[in-house]
Chains A and B, each alone.
Chain A
């Protein structure tokens, strides 16, 4: 078996003192509120009405826990992601898998046998929030992504397929032929697999090989019991089924979005489940919104930013996708600048996915310090020269400012983007930015006088 799996990651968290175990009985209606209050990742060992099941949550809801998953320090996460993603390792197929120790098909399929949590106050129902969703297109091959599922019936869920994605594209192609799209959902995989799944890779890039690269070992896959698809062998739970060819017609949501907003009702397809498989004594993974999603999004956005800067021949020094922007909508980077590269860097970073706000500084600024950043913006920026606005770019529905409700069912919104070049302007002497330094600071120490 592979070294890295969902359970080995739980062990890693435990060793790092980052996992709390709750042994008192907990109802599914209490899970989310309890998990949100814990300052560690949490394992609920005793779920009322669901003997044999456990629930794990908040596994990567801080940068520290994400760094545990990556096996590096917190400030190296983006660079580690970038380096490892450049060395993909193809998956391997295995015959027997823990995720298929228990099999339920046909009439035995019953989602209510799984401890589905009610997560947020205004959710439209219980949700499966942390998924590794596999689909396949005859021309483009397998694809993996992360999609939330809302409970509808013991054999059906809603699925949020509103935003542009490869699976949405696959579904549209099947829908055009009047056919369902077979998909399989894995729940309870290593966070590195989730990172790979959420990576906005080009359509013909293998997220499975990317997961292998991040792991440093091939992802082991097993053929589904009822579909011609493969799923991660070490997952805790697998749902096999199809997206019905009904288009965007079924109500889904609201759900506590990764934008930290409750969201609204969307119109989406329905996922009909034909087979459920899981481990013996399975662990259900409840991805805690928004923080787990946001911290998983950050390194993906940051690595995409690094890649965009390198393509633009700009040398990045540091980068961060602030969690306040959900690790998704903003990028702040420092660069080793040559003349003109402040603007090149802004343009490159604005090209990343749905990033709509960018700040670029010189490498003397610590971009993790908000005061440093404010100082750079205050004294290195002239709005008429250093602000760049890009109109009509791709957007996401969950940003209320794009007014997606005006678009109708299935419509795709656009947005304006803002970039700020907060590097020292060409022609301004660097000596004008010499910082205050206290006399004798390097040799006179406070502790010697206490």
Chain B
């Protein structure tokens, strides 16, 4: 897992967040790099949604 994907994972294990909140935290990252990291989390199928559509990851 890339360092950015690891950072995203840690953040979403801490609390549920809307996609735009996750984006706002990484505005300094090139958009393509951000999307690749997001895709890494999707590929391992760990992203969950709450009732408001926010993303979270259950901590093992």
Contact = CB atoms under 8 A, between A and B. Distances in A.
Contacts of A29: 23, 27, 31
A118 B49 contact: no
A200 B20 CA distance: 34
A310 B18 CA distance: 49
Contacts of B32: 49-50, 112-113
Given A49-B30, A152-B42, A125 B19 contact: yes
B30 A156 contact: no
A116 interface: yes
Contacts of B53: 122, 124, 253-254, 264-265
Contacts of B38: 125, 151
Given A27-B31, A29-B31, A264-B53, A123 B20 contact: yes
B49 A123 contact: no
Nearest to A252: B49
A28 interface: yes
Contact of B36 (A118, A154, A265): A154
Contacts of A28: 31
Interface string B11-51: 00000001110010001001110011011101100010100
A268 to B, nearest CB: 12
A126 interface: yes
Contacts of B35: 111-112, 116, 126, 151, 154
A104 to B, nearest CB: 15
Interface in A264-299: 264-265
Contacts of A151: 35, 38-39
A116 B38 CA distance: 13
A24 to B, nearest CB: 16
A113 B36 CA distance: 10
Contacts of B40: 153
A121 B20 contact: yes
Contacts of A152: 39, 42
A156 B44 CA distance: 13
A152 B35 CA distance: 9
Nearest to A152: B42
Which of B35, B36, B39 has most A Cβ within 10 Å? Answer: B35
Contacts of B42: 152-153, 156
Contacts of A48: 30-31
Contacts of A113: 32
B49 A49 contact: no
A387 B50 CA distance: 42
A44 B23 CA distance: 21
A152 B45 CA distance: 10
Interface of A: 27-29, 48-50, 111-113, 115-116, 118, 121-126, 151-154, 156, 251, 253-254, 264-265
